[in-house]
Amino acid sequence: MAQSESLENRPIPTEEVGESSPTAANRVSTTSADSPTEKRQRRRRGLVILLCFIVLVIDGYDLVVYGAVVPSLLNESEWGLTSSTVGAIGASALLGMAAGAFAVGAFKRVGRRPLMIGLLTWTSLGMGMCAVSVNAQMFASARLLTGVALGALIPLAIAMTAEFSRPDRRNLSNAIALSGYAAGGVLSAVVALAILESYGFRMMFAVGTTPLILVLPVMIWILPEAPSYLVSRGKNLQAAKIAQLYGVDLDPITSDEQAGNSQNGSGQAILTRRPWVIALSLFSAAYFCGQVLNYGMSTWLPKIMNDAGYSLDSALLFLLSLNCGAIAGTLLFSRIADRIGSQRIPVYSWLSAAACLLWLGIAPPPNLVAYFLVCIIGFGSIGSLILLSGQIAHYFPPSSRSIALGVSFGASRIGGFAAILGGGILLDLHLSTSGMLWIWIIPTTMSIAALLMVPKKPGSTEFKVR
């Protein structure tokens, strides 16, 4: 027993891993990218990223479905809701997301695979509870519980995407997976246009239970455990087998783990050191303010445009434009980011969003121009956060990646809480359309300021915004 345990925990020699090892796979990819081994590894990595994409679709659907049903909730006479109470209910989901994101690091010993499977089940059941709620109190409780699950699930999905991405395609892989967030928003808007008026808001949440049937069995069958988790638990041989199958390079993972151990540190310990604390604080501040803009637009844009004189269908088309712009912009600029770096792109996208908000508030343009401006706002509000998530995932070492993402996401969900609750209060104040649009420029500029102050990655020159 002692002998097998020592074999399990010893370092992984290259010759033991064999010709299909990550190192060997990297050599093959540089000389013969179309080899059968590389094709199989690429396919397997693609399936992992696809599952992470679907998880982000669920998150995006959950966010936008609430914004889409806000007018219907206000018309639910039996519940007697006002804009402020609808905002408070939406904010409860964000409180849950913040709690889940902050807590995910405490459960990292369980492993990413079982956590993702359990949290996906929890999320779908929470959506079902929303669909069958008999009063506002039950509905708010369901939103809170769903938020806890999603808040913990999203950092895990992003960390898995980063770990199973090729180094030269990380921005693109992250963009593909994280564009699921905007794709979920598009799906929600399309479903709302199709069924909301006929079947009501309950059916919108019932659609959110379908991952139990369509996604969960596939996740149980396909999703591997993260090699970084296995290495951290001393299961080096299991990590090597997964690395062989998926073409994952274990060198950065094992070196990070050894560095942490040599300094009596772990993922949590790394994040207590001053350079990492400063970077994490600034990333979290940028994410907080960025989510204020994101949730402000995703939740209140249909209501703002509806109050401005647009029909409900037209207002939902603005929501659709918002998310379509996020997808198109993210996929386009992620390719650029793989070539020139992704540090500046969120800054430029936030600046573009602020300019479009200013334009919309000065003089409402024709419908087609307005839809185009909202597309740009979508990239600025959602797409910038997608790229920022990739930056955070690559900035921090593998052992601390999910914790750093959890802290950043927790802070961002508090920003979303402020946006939803504050937006409801502002609507009850009956501000003008211009005022309701321009107010979101403030957090946009604060996001830019925070990101510009992020320092270089400790021990590296690869991250510099300016």
* Residue showing tokens 């403030």: 442
CB 140 within 8 A of CB 87: no
Residue 341 has pLDDT above 70, yes or no: no
Distance CA 12, CA 156 (A): 26
Eight-state DSSP code of residue 223: P
**Which tops the pLDDT comparison, 359 or 333?**
359
Q: What angle do CA 92, 93, 96 make, to 5 degrees?
A: 90
pLDDT one-digit tens code per residue, 232-245: 778 888 888 888 88
Domain membership flag for residue 120: yes
In the chain, the percentage of residues whose pLDDT exceeds 90 is: 18
Residue 170 has pLDDT above 50, yes or no: yes
Buried-state track 322-361, b at ≥16 Cβ within 10 A, e below 16: bbbbbbbbbbebbeebbeeebbbbbbebbebbbbbbebbb
Alpha-carbon distances of 310 from 36, 197, 293, 299, 324, rounded to whole Å: 55, 16, 22, 16, 20
Q: Look at residue 18 in the predicted model and tell me its pLDDT.
A: 44
Distance CA 123, CA 191 (A): 19
Residue 112 has pLDDT above 50, yes or no: yes
Name the pTM for this structure: 0.69
CB atoms within 10 A of CB 175: 27
Distance CA 77, CA 56 (A): 33
Distance CA 336, CA 344 (A): 11
- CA 200, 203, 205, 208 torsion-angle sign: negative
When pLDDT is cut at 50, 70 and 90, the band that residue 383 belongs to is confident
CB atoms within 10 A of CB 160: 28
Q: What is the DSSP string of 369-419?
A: HHHHHHHHHHIIIIIHHHHHHHHHHHHS-HHHHHHHHHHHHHHHHHHHHHH
Domain membership flag for residue 116: yes
* Residue showing tokens 């961002």: 412
End-to-end CA distance of the chain: 55
* Residue type, position 200, single letter: G
Q: What is the dihedral of CA 460, 461, 464, 466, to 10 degrees?
A: 150
Buried-state track 363-376, b at ≥16 Cβ within 10 A, e below 16: ebeeeeebbebbbb
CB atoms within 10 A of CB 393: 25
Q: How many CA atoms lie within 13 A of 287 on its CB side?
A: 25
Average pLDDT, the chain: 79
Total number of domains in the chain: 1
Domain membership flag for residue 10: no
| C-alpha of 431 from chain center | 31
Instruction: Name the strand (E) or helix (H) holding 103.
Output: helix 83-103
CATH code for position 422 = 1.20.1250.20
Q: Look at residue 13 in the predicted model and tell me its pLDDT.
A: 42
CB 219 within 8 A of CB 50: no
CB 380 within 8 A of CB 355: no
pLDDT one-digit tens code per residue, 401-446: 777 877 887 788 788 888 888 888 888 888 887 888 899 999 999 9
The residue-averaged pLDDT of 74-102 equals: 83
Residue 91 has pLDDT above 60, yes or no: yes
Distance CA 82, CA 307 (A): 15
Domain membership flag for residue 24: no
Q: Look at residue 122 in the predicted model and tell me its pLDDT.
A: 93
Write phi, then psi, for 235 (nearest 5 degrees). -95, 70
Domain membership flag for residue 1: no
Q: Which of 191-205, 313-327, 353-367, 408-422 has the highest mean pLDDT?
A: 191-205
Residue 225 has pLDDT above 70, yes or no: yes
Q: Look at residue 255 in the predicted model and tell me its pLDDT.
A: 52
Domain membership flag for residue 33: no
Burial of 247 (0-12, 13-18, 19+ CB in 10 A): buried
Residue 234 falls in which region: left (phi positive, over 0), alpha (psi -120 to 50) or beta: left
| C-alpha of 21 from chain center | 30
Domain membership flag for residue 170: yes
Distance CA 370, CA 141 (A): 36
Q: At what angle do helices 384-395 and 274-307 cross, to 10 degrees?
A: 170
Q: What is the extent of the structural domain holding 42? A: 38-452
Domain membership flag for residue 214: yes
* Residue type, position 158, single letter: I
In the chain, the percentage of residues whose pLDDT exceeds 70 is: 81
